[in-house]
């Protein structure tokens, strides 16, 4: 679902991992793409009834946590499964728990006993250290660092190249600006 910048990163990870096959994308209107345009999101009902069972929601966060939640509800009501999409270059601990529909980008690290909620974005080169909890629909942006035991609430945004020092809590819906250190 969607084919903007974040979708291109997700599609690249899907192709690199070779675990799923992309049949096309949905958007309100066709955009230039190497993938077939399937139509608006409403066509997903048709594809589900014809045997397609997985979908990736590729709408980036950019303050649109509510939109990602709405899209998630839409596809779950149809019956779709949202697989975890992770780049082969990411490192995910065997003791980490990753929620459905989550995207883990290139070079990202999710360390021991971290728990990532559903539909989260753990973006390129970000670090989620041991025992962190990242809430549903949250976004840890490019090169952001969550030190050990950080808790990030639902639909929060941790800006690019920011750092949250260990044992801190970021409330639901909060935005940590790019480059900031939370002590």
The set of catalytic residues is 130
Strand partners, 91: 109
d(CA 108, CA 113): 15
- CA 122, distance to chain mean position in Å, is 6
Match 């958007």 to its residue by tokens: 27
CA dihedral 140→143→144→147, nearest 10 degrees, is 120
Q: Which residues contact 62 (CB under 8 A, 6 or more apart)?
A: none
Closest of 122, 125, 133 to residue 167, by C-alpha: 133
Closest of 127, 92, 96, 126 to residue 114, by C-alpha: 96
- CA 37, distance to chain mean position in Å, is 22
- Kind and range of the H or E run holding 13: helix 5-17
């Amino acid at each position: 679902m969607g084919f903007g910048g974040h979708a291109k990163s997700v599609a690249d990870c899907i192709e690199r991992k070779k675990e799923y096959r992309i049949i096309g994308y949905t958007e309100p209107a066709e955009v230039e793409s190497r993938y077939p345009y399937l139509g608006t999101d409403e066509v997903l009902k048709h594809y589900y009834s014809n045997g397609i069972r997985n979908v990736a929601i590729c709408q980036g966060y950019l303050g649109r946590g509510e939109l990602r939640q709405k899209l998630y509800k839409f596809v779950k009501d149809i019956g779709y499964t949202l697989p975890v999409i992770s780049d082969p270059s990411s490192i995910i601990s065997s003791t980490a728990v990753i929620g459905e529909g989550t995207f883990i980008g290139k070079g990202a690290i999710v360390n021991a006993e971290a728990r990532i909620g559903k539909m989260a974005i753990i973006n390129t080169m970000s670090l989620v250290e041991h025992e962190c909890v990242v809430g549903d629909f949250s976004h840890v942006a490019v090169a952001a660092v969550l030190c050990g035991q950080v808790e990030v609430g639902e639909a929060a945004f941790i800006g690019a190249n920011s750092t949250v020092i260990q044992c801190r809590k970021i409330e639901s819906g909060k935005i940590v600006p790019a480059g900031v250190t939370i002590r």
